[in-house]
Amino acid sequence: MVKTLDARTSQGSNGIGILNPTFTNGVPLLMAQVGLQVKSPGSWIRTFFSGSIKFQAVNLPISGFLGVEVYRESDGLQQLVYQVGTVVRPGRLVSPCALTFNGSDYNVPAPSSGQVTYTVYSVFTYNPQYSITNFRMGPESFNATIYSDD
């Protein structure tokens, strides 16, 4: 039997208004963080997560790249558990760019602290010879649910 241990959502924006700060070329930006409580877990702990980010790049003359990285932190150790990205095409007809993702983290070690934290970073990279204006528009969110067997 599967037991749900905890579920959390981190929402930076529901899509109303522009988020700050905007992206700096190639610099990871904290997108979300959730702390999941893991009390009396059974065996085989696993986490399922999903998220979305939407932004607009103005004056993008050639393609750029939007990436997302999800890290698990438990008992002071941080580990990359998921990575996804998409090409951001130039031109007004394809902007804004939206990226949604679903992932999972299997065989999560039971934390002695009773908490597993997932931290999500997003990064936008483009040719540095161009001056690009960008806006984080939202919706921007991250959802995580942690399970174990009884």
- At 127, which CATH number? 2.60.120.660
> How many domains does the chain divide into?
1
Q: Is the pLDDT of residue 92 over 70?
A: no
In the predicted model, what is the mean pLDDT of the chain?
91
Domain membership of residue 37 as a residue range: 2-149
Residue 66 is inside which H or E element, if any? Answer: strand 64-74
pLDDT class for 79, splitting at 50, 70, 90? Answer: very high
Answer whether 0.85 is exceeded by the pTM: yes
Report yes or no: 44 and 107 within 8 Å, Cβ to Cβ: yes
What three-state secondary structure class fits 45?
A: coil
For residue 93, give every residue at least 6 positions away whose Cβ sits within 8 Å of its Cβ, in sequence order, or none: none
Whole-number pLDDT of residue 95: 64
User: Distance between CA 53 and CA 34 in Å, rounded?
Assistant: 16
Share of residues in the chain with pLDDT > 70 (%) = 97
